[in-house]
């Protein structure tokens, strides 16, 4: 087994660092743009008068960074070649390593910087779940229309699965779509619709047939924002502001049949095209941010003089031991994330070669979903623990907004809920460990999850 990062990947990360140093950091330091990243960040980013949404000048700065990254050839790295991406055979490994680097390296501020600001999923190496959904499930017309528009910034969609009364139990959704006049009439509501303040479309999942609790009978629709009957009811203010998370109501919203994304009654399969990629990349970011917090804590403890005796704060085992425990977990988790990413790439390669008959996202769900869940739920919890420890070691300074740890805690706390609540992911892992599914074999023979998992 080879545990080294490939030399080509190390060289690529060095290219990114050079680009950031020469192009992104100068932009971040231009005029007063640092107000979005220093102690003023939350106030500078948030339009407190207008729903608590992101300020236009903040999002304009992010867009400038994305344009620079696109011109330099980094932004579309993970996309298929036909959309300007590299379609690298080890995309998952490379993206996980890049995400870890972005969140752990001091230049990137633990995910708080113009090159990679995780509060709004911004990065100069983009993540494109919506493009993947359109690529795999869209009609020829949808692909040719929406994907180029998305890459130009002219098409933006939310992801409408969660409802006011239904989160992890998505198959019990109450939003419905009934056939009407060569199309469908949608009624219901969706909550936590991220990006609703500037979206052009809502991707809405609605029940079109079947019984509550069934994974079949749910269909995905691309609903234009200005469709009659669509109403943004509220924006939910959160632990870390600004907010672009809306509750959206649909009252007898009619859409043509051409608005269906994928197959009728098979809409939940669309979510599987990106969920594991998103979760492993999020795990890498959380693990990297945890390391950032601990590295800064070690620096603080080594430089902080105490008790008037010239002793370092780091001389105390009460400081050392918690950091030791957390840093041990960071290193073990980092290796599991990279190993799981490699396994995901092998499944993708086998699918392209015709060695397996299933789409790669289905095979990954069946063979690796427990490992992805292990990485994700533990990384998000670990990041919160590391940020909390950093606050404690930095004392009053750590509690202040002049250091990034309170921001990191407030942001990463959300991922213990959003990328699949940690309890749901632990339930999936338990299904393997306690035999609620057949005993698992090696990577090629591990069985599918039963329908109730």
Least confident span in 28-42, 295-309, 360-374: 295-309
Alpha helices in 73-194 (DSSP H): 91-104, 129-137, 140-151
pLDDT average, residue stretch 37-65: 96
Q: How confident is the model at residue 203 (pLDDT cuts 50, 70, 90)?
A: very high
Contacts of 438 (CB under 8 A, 6+ apart): 447
* Domain assignment present for 114: yes
Q: Verify that 246 and 345 share a domain, yes or no.
A: no
Q: Verify that 341 and 210 share a domain, yes or no.
A: no
Does 449 have pLDDT greater than 60?
no
Q: What percentage of the chain exceeds 90 in pLDDT?
A: 78
Cα separations in angstroms, 80 against 106, 153, 187, 206, 385? 31, 18, 35, 29, 37
Q: 386: domain CATH number?
A: 1.20.140.10
Residue pLDDT, tens place only, 220-245? 999 999 999 999 999 999 999 999 99
Domain boundary (217, 233, 261) is at 261
8 Å CB contact between 94 and 142: no
Domain that holds residue 38: 7-127+270-434
Instruction: Please name which of 321, 289, 319 lies closest in space to residue 304, comparing C-alpha atoms.
Output: 319
Residue pLDDT, tens place only, 324-373? 999 999 999 999 999 999 999 999 999 988 898 888 988 998 899 999 99
Instruction: Please name which of 328, 291, 302 lies closest in space to residue 393, comparing C-alpha atoms.
Output: 302
pLDDT average, residue stretch 183-201: 96
8 Å CB contact between 237 and 410: no
Q: Verify that 70 and 120 share a domain, yes or no.
A: yes
Q: Verify that 353 and 208 share a domain, yes or no.
A: no
Does 446 have pLDDT greater than 50?
no
Q: Verify that 226 and 358 share a domain, yes or no.
A: no
Q: Verify that 227 and 278 share a domain, yes or no.
A: no
* Domain assignment present for 136: no
Q: Verify that 275 and 377 share a domain, yes or no.
A: yes
3-state secondary structure 54-96: ECHHHHHHHHHHHHHHHHHCCCCCCCCHHHCCCCCCCHHHHHH
pLDDT average, residue stretch 256-264: 95
Angle at CA 277, nearest 5°, toward 18 and 433?
130
pLDDT average, residue stretch 47-73: 96
Contacts of 406 (CB under 8 A, 6+ apart): 387, 391, 398, 399, 400
pLDDT of residue 196: 95
Domain boundary (261, 281, 316) is at 261
Residue pLDDT, tens place only, 267-296? 988 887 888 999 999 999 999 999 999 999
Instruction: Please name which of 453, 322, 333 lies closest in space to residue 381, comparing C-alpha atoms.
Output: 333
Which one has a higher pLDDT value, 451 or 160? 160
* Domain assignment present for 72: yes
Contacts of 207 (CB under 8 A, 6+ apart): 173, 174, 175, 176, 177, 217, 218, 219
pLDDT of residue 1: 66
Q: Verify that 249 and 274 share a domain, yes or no.
A: no
* Domain assignment present for 289: yes
8 Å CB contact between 88 and 9: no
Please give the Cα distance from 114 to 105 (Å, whole number).
13
Q: Verify that 304 and 416 share a domain, yes or no.
A: yes
Instruction: Please name which of 372, 400, 412 lies closest in space to residue 290, comparing C-alpha atoms.
Output: 412
Does 27 have pLDDT greater than 50?
yes
pLDDT of residue 47: 97
Q: Verify that 246 and 290 share a domain, yes or no.
A: no
* Domain assignment present for 202: yes
Q: 222: domain CATH number?
A: 2.40.110.10
Q: Verify that 305 and 427 share a domain, yes or no.
A: yes
Neighbours of 364 (CB within 10 A): 25
Polymer length in residues for the chain: 453
Count of domains forming the chain: 2
Residue pLDDT, tens place only, 389-444? 999 999 999 999 999 999 999 999 999 998 789 999 999 899 988 877 654 444 44
Conformation bin of residue 262: beta by default, left when phi > 0, alpha when psi is -120 to 50: left
8 Å CB contact between 408 and 293: yes
pLDDT of residue 438: 52
* Domain assignment present for 442: no
Q: Verify that 314 and 365 share a domain, yes or no.
A: yes
* Domain assignment present for 141: no
* Domain assignment present for 312: yes
Mean pLDDT of the chain: 91
Domain boundary (210, 235, 261) is at 261
Please give the Cα distance from 351 to 359 (Å, whole number).
7
Whether the full predicted model's pTM is greater than 0.95, yes or no, is: no
pLDDT average, residue stretch 94-113: 93
pLDDT average, residue stretch 258-269: 93
């Amino acid at each position: 087994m080879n545990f080294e990062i490939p030399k080509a990947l190390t060289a690529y990360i060095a290219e990114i660092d050079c680009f950031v140093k020469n192009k992104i950091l100068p932009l971040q330091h231009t005029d007063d743009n640092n107000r979005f990243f220093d102690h003023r960040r939350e106030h500078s980013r948030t339009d407190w008068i207008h729903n608590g949404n992101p300020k236009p000048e903040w999002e304009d700065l992010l867009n400038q960074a994305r344009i620079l990254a696109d011109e330099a050839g980094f932004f579309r790295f993970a996309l298929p070649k036909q959309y300007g991406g590299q379609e690298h055979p080890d995309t998952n490994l490379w993206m996980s390593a890049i995400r870890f680097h972005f969140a752990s390296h001091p230049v990137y501020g633990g995910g708080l910087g113009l090159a990679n600001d995780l509060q709004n999923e911004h990065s100069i190496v983009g993540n494109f779940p919506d493009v993947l959904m359109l690529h795999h499930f869209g009609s020829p017309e949808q692909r040719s229309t929406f994907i180029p528009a998305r890459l130009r910034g002219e098409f933006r969609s939310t992801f409408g699965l969660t409802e006011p009364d239904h989160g992890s139990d998505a198959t019990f959704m109450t939003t419905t779509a009934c056939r009407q006049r060569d199309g469908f009439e949608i009624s219901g509501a969706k909550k936590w619709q991220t990006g609703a303040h500037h979206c052009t479309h809502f991707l809405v999942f609605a029940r079109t047939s079947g019984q509550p609790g069934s994974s079949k009978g749910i269909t995905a629709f691309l609903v234009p924002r200005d469709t009659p009957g669509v109403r943004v009811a509220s924006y939910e203010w959160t632990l870390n502001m600004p907010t672009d998370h809306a509750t959206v109501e649909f009252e007898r919203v009619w859409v043509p049949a051409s608005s269906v994304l994928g197959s009728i009654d098979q809409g939940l399969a669309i979510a599987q095209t990106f969920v594991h990629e998103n979760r492993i990349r999020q795990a890498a970011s959380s693990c990297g941010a945890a390391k950032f917090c601990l590295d800064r804590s070690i620096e603080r403890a080594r430089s902080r003089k105490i008790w008037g005796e010239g002793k370092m704060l780091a001389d105390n085992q009460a400081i050392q031991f918690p950091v030791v425990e957390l840093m041990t977990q960071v290193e073990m988790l980092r290796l599991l994330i990279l190993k799981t990413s490699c396994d995901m790439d092998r499944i993708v390669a086998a699918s392209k070669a015709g060695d397996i008959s299933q789409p790669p996202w289905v095979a990954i769900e069946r063979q690796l979903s427990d490992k992805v869940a292990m990485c994700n739920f533990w990384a998000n919890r670990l990041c919160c623990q590391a940020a909390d420890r950093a606050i404690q070691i930095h004392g009053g300074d750590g509690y202040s907004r002049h250091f990034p740890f309170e921001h990191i805690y407030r942001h990463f706390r959300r991922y213990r809920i959003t990328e699949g609540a940690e309890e749901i992911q632990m339930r999936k892992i338990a299904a393997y460990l306690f035999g609620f599914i057949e005993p698992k074999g090696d990577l090629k023979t591990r069985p599918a999850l039963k329908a109730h998992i």
